Amino acid sequence: MIVSAMMTALAIILPMAFHAVGLGNKFLPMLLPLLLNGFLSTWPWAILSALIAPWLSAALTGMPPVYPPIALVMSGEGIVLAGVASILYRATNRRVWPALVVAVVLSRVTGFLLMWALAAAFHLPRTITATSTLAEGLPGVALQIILIPIILRGLQQRRSLLFHEDD
């Protein structure tokens, strides 16, 4: 619960820093702590955090917007990202890569489908809207693929140092 609360707070704070320099949409900063939470928490906590973070951020900072419902899309993407990562990480005996790749791919598919539906609801060109949103987030996907294994490895090393697991 504490880890999920910390990741939710980070999912609100980190985007403010990225948006301050105009990189929010490209690097998907809210999704990074939500994904990390999937590896650190059980799936109910990971999903709850991903559900709450976009709406809490919208209420506190105005980002992501509630209308058009980008907060809804971010919530859906985050739920899939964190939930799949959490479930697969534990189901594969804590193997990072399978959980990471499947979670990121399914999250992006979810985001694409939600943007497709959102574009249709707003009478926008669906293919262009959904595809451009998907393409715009590719640097964020790269950031997730690079940083998550590094962070997890660092946390595992600190844990083994703290708890002397090799004794």
**Collapsing DSSP states into helix, strand and coil, what is residue 166?**
coil
| Residue 51 CB contacts under 8 Å (≥ 6 apart), including other chains | 75, 78, 79
Q: What pTM was estimated for this model as a whole?
A: 0.93
pLDDT value at position 163?
A: 64
Tens-place pLDDT, residues 39-48: 999 999 999 9
Residue 139 tokens read as: 């640097």
Distance from C-alpha of 115 to C-alpha of 134, rounded to nearest angstrom? 9
Q: Which residue has the higher pLDDT, 12 or 167?
A: 12
Local confidence band at 164 (pLDDT 50, 70, 90 cut-offs): low
Tens-place pLDDT, residues 17-54: 999 998 888 999 999 999 999 999 999 999 999 999 99
* Domains in the chain, CATH or no CATH each: 2-163 (1.10.1760.20)
- Over pLDDT 70: what percentage of the chain? 96
Q: Is the dihedral of CA 162, 88, 105, 130 positive or negative?
A: negative
Tens-place pLDDT, residues 125-135: 999 999 999 99
Mean of the per-residue pLDDT values of the chain: 94
Local confidence band at 167 (pLDDT 50, 70, 90 cut-offs): very low
- DSSP 8-state assignment for residue 123: T
